[in-house]
Structure 1
Amino acid sequence: MKDFVQLFTQLDQTTKTLKKVAALVDYFNKANDKDKLWTIAILSHRRPKRSVRTSLLRAWAASAANVPPWLFEESYHIVGDLAETMALMHPNLESKHDKSLSEWIEFIIDLKNLEDEHPTESEDVLATKKEKVRWAWNQLDETERFIFNKLMTGSWRVGVSQKLMTRALARHSGIDENTLSHRLMGNWRAETSSYHQLIIATDPADKISQPYPFYLAYGLEIKIEELGKPNEWLAERKWDGIRGQLIIRENQLFLWSRGEELVTDKFPEFEILTEVLPNGTVIDGEIIAYQDNQPLGFNVLQSRIGRKNVSKSILDKAPVIMIAYDLLELNGKDIRESSLQYRRQELVRLVDNAASEKLLISELVEFKEWKDLLKERADSRKYHAEGLMLKNKSGTYKVGRKKGDWWKWKIDPLTIDAVLLYAMRGHGRRANLYTDYTFAVWKGKELVPFAKAYSGLTDKEINEVDAFVKRNTIDRFGPVRSVKPDLVFEIAFEGIARSSRHKSGVALRFPRMFRWRKDKPAKEANTLEDLEKLLNLYG
C-alpha cells in the first residue's frame, strides 16, 4: 500500500506525461504480481464494488472525528469529496500497517461479502463493519486513509489515462503496447484473474469474447480543404447511438460497448446474426434505434439503456439495428493493419451475404469536391445524425484517439437563451465555488426549469457567477441556492426530445454553456414555446 500511495502522490503532483509514465514504470518494477494486477484494474476503472453504504460511512466518520453530523455535512459540502472529507476529519495518525495494496483490497471485498451474506444488515453485521472500518482508519495516515476511502466507496479517480498506464506497462513487461491494449479489453476481473493470465499468457481459448481497442476520431479542427485530395477520403454519417463491437467466434455472439461493457444480453435481437455471419468476424459499428426504414432519436434508444431486463414491450417500442462501418477481424484474422478501402470492401461483402435487417452497411455520402459536403453536413439532423465522419481510404484501424485518418465533423449545436435559476457547489478543486447551474425559460410570466449545465465557462467567469450567487441568494435547499433571476446564458445542446420526467416537458442532449449573454436582460430570454418549435423541428 505504501508503494501505491507513493505512486498516487507522484501522479497527483505532476501534469507531465513522461513523469507519470516513469512513476508507473518504477512502481511496476517493484510491485508484486497481485498489486500490479489491482493497479491495472484500478486504472482501467475495474475497482472493487462499493462495500459500505456512504450514509453509514458519514455517520461513522463524524463519530470518529467527534463532531456532530451537521458539521460533517457542512464540511463535506465545502471539501466536495466524501473520501477526502473522511480522511481529513479523522484524527491525524501515523501509518501503523504493513499490508500491501492487494491485501487492503481483499479487506474491502470482505466488507462487501459481509453484506452479501447478510442482506438485511442486522445490527451485529453493521457493528462488525463499523469496527473493521474504524480499525482500518486507525492504521492509516491521512493519504492512505484517503486512498482506502476511495477504494471502499467505489469512486476512485486518478489523473492518469489507461493509455499512459498501458505505455508504462509495455516498458515494464517488454510486450508491445497495442498487444497489451488488446489484452486489457474485455470482461476480465482482478478478483478472478491473475497478472500472468492477463498480461503474459496468450491462450486463444481465453480470448474468445475479447474485443479490440476502439479507434476514436478527433473533431475536425482544420479547414476541410486541408485534408488533401477529396478522392483519398470517404464520408459517412456520424450516427447518434451506442458505439459497439459485434463479435462472432465459435458460433457465439458477443457485443461490447465502447465503454468495455459486455451488452449482449441488452440486445437479444442480434443473436440471429450467428446464423448468417461466419466465425472469426468482428464488426465495428453503431447501435441505433430504427424503425420503418429510418433512424429514430437517441431518446428512444435511451429507454433501453440501464434496464436490467429487456421486456417484449421495450423491444417493440425501441427496436434496434447495427450500422456497420468497419471490419476488424475476418475469418479469425486480425485485419486492422489493412487499408480502410480493403476492410470496407470485405465488410460490404459480409453484410450483403448476411442479408439481415438487423445489420446494415453505413452508406457512403457521395461527393466530388469538399464543398459538396457542406450541405450534407448541414442536413444531418434530418437523418438523426450528429454530422459526418471523414476517413482516409488508405488508413489502418488504430488504437485509441489518434489524429490523421479519422475525423468527426459535427454539425453546429442548437442554442437557446436561458435564465440562471439555481446554483450548486462543484466538486474537487471547485468545491468552494457555485459551478453547477439550473436554467429556465419563460412560460408566460413564470420561469420553468428545463436544463442543467456545468461546463463552458472560463475560470474568470465562474468566479464572477459564484460572487453573483452568493450576493443574490433568495432561498436555500441543502447545497442548492435559488438566485435572483438576472443572468442570461446561451445554452448549446446536440439534441432535444420530449420528456415526461421534466416539468418543461423536454430533455436536452449534452447541454453546456456556450456564452454568457451579458448583453441581454432576463426578460428577453427564450420561452418554452421556442423550445417546442425546436422540438417539432428536430425532436
Structure 2
Amino acid sequence: MRRFADLFTRLDRSTGTGDKRAALVAYFRDAPPADAAWALWLLSGGKIGGSRARIASSGELRAWIAEESATPSWLVDDSYDAVGDLAETLALLLDDPATPAPDLPLHAWIEQRLLPVANADAASRREVVVAAWRSLPFAERFLFNKLLTGALRVGVSRGLVQQALAEASGVDIALIAQRMLGEWTPSAAFLQRLTSREAQPGDAASPYPFFLASPLESEPDALGPIAEWLLEWKWDGIRLQLIRRAGDIALWSRGEERLDGRFPEIEAALATLPRDAVLDGELLGWRDGEAPLPFTALQTRIQRRKPGAKTLADTPVRVLAYDLLELDGDDLRAHPLEARRALLEDLLDRHGDPRIAVSPRVEAATWADAAGLRAGSRARGVEGLMLKRRAAPYQNGRKRGDWWKWKIDPLTIDAVLLYAQAGHGRRSTLYTDYTFGLWDGDALVPVAKAYSGLDDREILKLDAWIRAHTTERFGPVRAVAHHHVFELGFEAVNRSARHKSGIAVRFPRILRWRHDKPMQEADRLETLQALAR
C-alpha cells in the first residue's frame, strides 16, 4: 500500500505529463505484479469489485467517522462541505496511529481485506474499514478512503497509463491497449498476459482501439481541397467493431463492452462474410425503406442480452460499415483510408447481405456543396457529416487532423433553472449540476439536466445566487427560486414514457445565460414536443 500511496501522492501533486509518466513507469517497473495489476485497474478508471461490490456508502462512511472521531454528524457534514472531498475529510478527522501497522501490499488490502466483506452486513464492513483507519498513516489512509469512495482522480488518462506500461514492459502500446479492451480481472497472471510479446488466448476476439474523430472548429475550407477528403454521414447509433477471425464472432462497442447475443441478426450476417475481417461501423435501428430510427430505439435493444421475437421485429437493426481494419489476418490500419475503403466495398459487395452494408459516400464537388448537404442532415436522421482524409491511416484514440465530425448546429430552447446540485472533483464545493424546466400551462416542468457550458466566473456567480435563493432541500439537491433563464443546446428530441415531461433530449448543454430574458418568456413544453421524433 505504501508504494502505491507514494505514487498517488506524486501524481496528485504533479502538473506535468512527463513527470506523471515517469512516476508511472518507475512504479510499473518496481511494483510486484499483483500490485501493478491493481494499480493499472484503478488508474484506468476501475473500481474495487466493479459496480456490484458494496464496501461502504457515503452515508455509512460519514456515520462511522463521526462515531470513531467523536465528531457530531453536523460537523462531519460541514467539514465535508469545506474540504470538498469525502476521502480527504475522512482522513483528516482521525490522528495518525502511534505505531503504524506493517505495510501490506495493495493487492492484499483489496483481495484479503476489502473484497471478502463486500456486500456483507454493516458490522463486518465497518470493522474492516475502521481497523484500516486506525492502522494507516495519513497518506495511506487518504488513499484507502479513495479506494472506498471510488474517486481515484489524479489527472492521468487511461492512455497515459498505457504509455507508461508500454515503456516499462517494452511491449507496443497498441497491443496493450487492444488487450485491455473489454472485461478483465486484475491479477499477476493478467499482467503477464497483457505484457507478453507472444500471442495470448483471447487475442482472436479482441478489438482494436477505436479511432475517434474531433469536432470541426473552423470552416472546412481550411482543410484544403475537398478532393483529398472522403465525406460520409455522421450516424447517430452505436459505434461497433465486428470481428470474424478463424470461426470466432464478436461484436464490441466503443465503450469496451462485448455485445454477444444482443444483436443476433448482425452476428448471423457476420458469420457469412466470405473472408475473415474486422470492420468498424455504426449500428443503427433501421426499417427497410426508411430513415434510421431514433437512438432511443436502440436503447431497448442494448438492454436485452437475449432479445425475443417481438423485440427483434419492433426494432430491426443494421450496421453501416465505414472502415476495414483487418482482412484475413492482415492488419490494414497503416494503409491509406482510400485503400481500406476499396477493400471494404469489394468485401461487402460480394457478401450482399443488407444487414451489414457500406456507409455511403456523400458526393460534393465543393465545400459549399457539402455545407448545403449538411444543412439537410436533421431531415435525414443524421447528425451532420464526417470528413476523413483519404490518405489517413487508422489511428488509436482521438488524434486530430485526419478525422473530423462536422455536426449540424444544435437544437435550442430557453429554459428556467429549477434545481441545483454540487459537482464532483474540483467542483465538489460548487453548485454546477443544474435541472431546467419549460412552461406547461402555468407550471414549470423539468425537461433537461446539464452541467457544462458556463465559464468559471459564471459558475461562481450562479453558485452564490443559488445559496442565497434556495427554497427547499432534497438531500444534496436544492430547489431554487424561479428566475434565471438559460439557452440550452441538444442534438435530438424523442418521446419518452420514463420522463414526467414525456420528452427526452439528447446531449443537453448550456449555450448561454439569458440575462436579457425574463422567465415568463422561456419556451413552452409544446415547443419541445413539436421537435420530437
TM-score range normalised by the length of the shorter chain = over 0.9
Summarize the Cα distance change of 1:77–1:215 in structure 2 as closer, same or farther, 3 Å threshold: same
User: Distance between the aligned counterparts of 2:365 and 2:486, measured in 1?
Assistant: 40
Instruction: Determine which of 169, 184, 187 is the counterpart of 1:188.
Output: 184
1:313 aligns with 2:300: no
The answer to whether the Cα contact below 8 Å between 1:450 and 1:506 also exists between their aligned partners in 2 is: yes
1:52 aligns with 2:55: yes
Q: Which residue of 1 aligns with 2:248?
A: 252
The answer to whether the Cα contact below 8 Å between 2:37 and 2:188 also exists between their aligned partners in 1 is: no
Q: Which residue of 1 aligns with 2:285?
A: 289
Aligned positions of 1:1-20 closer than 5 A = 1-20=1-20
1:36 CA drift (Å): 1.8
Q: Which residue of 2 aligns with 1:118?
A: none
Q: Which residue of 2 aligns with 1:280?
A: 276
The answer to whether the Cα contact below 8 Å between 1:250 and 1:279 also exists between their aligned partners in 2 is: no
1:440 CA drift (Å): 1.1
Tell me which moved more, 339-348 or 438-447.
438-447
1:101 aligns with 2:80: no
The answer to whether the Cα contact below 8 Å between 2:55 and 2:114 also exists between their aligned partners in 1 is: no
Letter in 1 for 2:103: D
User: Distance between the aligned counterparts of 1:154 and 1:62, measured in 2?
Assistant: 21
Letter in 1 for 2:366: E
Summarize the Cα distance change of 1:352–1:518 in structure 2 as closer, same or farther, 3 Å threshold: same
Q: Which residue of 2 aligns with 1:89?
A: 93
1:129 CA drift (Å): 2.9
SS of aligned partner of 2:286 = strand
1:312 CA drift (Å): 3.4
Summarize the Cα distance change of 1:257–1:193 in structure 2 as closer, same or farther, 3 Å threshold: farther
1:486 CA drift (Å): 1.1
SS of aligned partner of 1:261 = coil
Instruction: Determine which of 154, 157, 167 is the counterpart of 1:158.
Output: 154
1:265 CA drift (Å): 2.7
Letter in 2 for 1:11: L
User: Distance between the aligned counterparts of 2:258 and 2:300, measured in 1?
Assistant: 18
TM-score, structure 1 normalization: 0.92
The answer to whether the Cα contact below 8 Å between 2:411 and 2:489 also exists between their aligned partners in 1 is: yes
The answer to whether the Cα contact below 8 Å between 1:424 and 1:479 also exists between their aligned partners in 2 is: yes
User: Distance between the aligned counterparts of 1:443 and 1:128, measured in 2?
Assistant: 50
User: Distance between the aligned counterparts of 1:233 and 1:291, measured in 2?
Assistant: 30
1:61 CA drift (Å): 3.3
The answer to whether the Cα contact below 8 Å between 2:91 and 2:142 also exists between their aligned partners in 1 is: yes
Tell me which moved more, 127-136 or 372-381.
127-136
Q: Which residue of 1 aligns with 2:452?
A: 455
User: Distance between the aligned counterparts of 1:25 and 1:253, measured in 2?
Assistant: 36
User: Distance between the aligned counterparts of 2:353 and 2:82, measured in 1?
Assistant: 56
Summarize the Cα distance change of 1:222–1:331 in structure 2 as closer, same or farther, 3 Å threshold: same
1:418 CA drift (Å): 0.8
Letter in 2 for 1:331: D
TM-score, structure 2 normalization: 0.93
Letter in 1 for 2:190: S
Deviations 1:52-87 (A, max 9, x none): 241544443333233455554555455554434433
Aligned positions of 1:409-428 closer than 5 A = 409-428=406-425
Aligned positions of 1:74-473 closer than 5 A = 75-76=79-80, 79-93=83-97, 95-108=100-113, 110-112=115-117, 115=119, 121=120, 125-191=121-187, 193-278=189-274, 280-293=276-289, 294-307=291-304, 310-473=307-470
User: Distance between the aligned counterparts of 1:58 and 1:257, measured in 2?
Assistant: 38
Letter in 1 for 2:229: W
Letter in 2 for 1:34: A
User: Distance between the aligned counterparts of 1:260 and 1:192, measured in 2?
Assistant: 22
SS of aligned partner of 2:488 = strand
1:498 CA drift (Å): 1.0
> How many residue pairs end up in the alignment?
527
User: Distance between the aligned counterparts of 2:69 and 2:308, measured in 1?
Assistant: 48
SS of aligned partner of 1:187 = coil
User: Distance between the aligned counterparts of 2:37 and 2:201, measured in 1?
Assistant: 21
SS of aligned partner of 2:417 = strand
1:492 CA drift (Å): 0.8
1:485 CA drift (Å): 1.0
User: Distance between the aligned counterparts of 2:282 and 2:82, measured in 1?
Assistant: 42
Identity %: 47
User: Distance between the aligned counterparts of 1:268 and 1:83, measured in 2?
Assistant: 44
1:38 CA drift (Å): 1.8
1:271 CA drift (Å): 2.2
User: Distance between the aligned counterparts of 1:56 and 1:161, measured in 2?
Assistant: 30
1:496 aligns with 2:501: no
Gap regions ≥5 residues in structure 2? none
User: Distance between the aligned counterparts of 2:415 and 2:372, measured in 1?
Assistant: 29
1:126 CA drift (Å): 4.2
User: Distance between the aligned counterparts of 2:285 and 2:369, measured in 1?
Assistant: 28
Summarize the Cα distance change of 1:283–1:482 in structure 2 as closer, same or farther, 3 Å threshold: same
The answer to whether the Cα contact below 8 Å between 2:207 and 2:252 also exists between their aligned partners in 1 is: yes
User: Distance between the aligned counterparts of 2:200 and 2:116, measured in 1?
Assistant: 35
1:136 CA drift (Å): 1.8
Summarize the Cα distance change of 1:133–1:401 in structure 2 as closer, same or farther, 3 Å threshold: same
User: Distance between the aligned counterparts of 2:440 and 2:183, measured in 1?
Assistant: 49
Structure 1 segments (4+ residues) deviating >6 Å: none
User: Distance between the aligned counterparts of 1:90 and 1:303, measured in 2?
Assistant: 48
1:458 CA drift (Å): 0.7
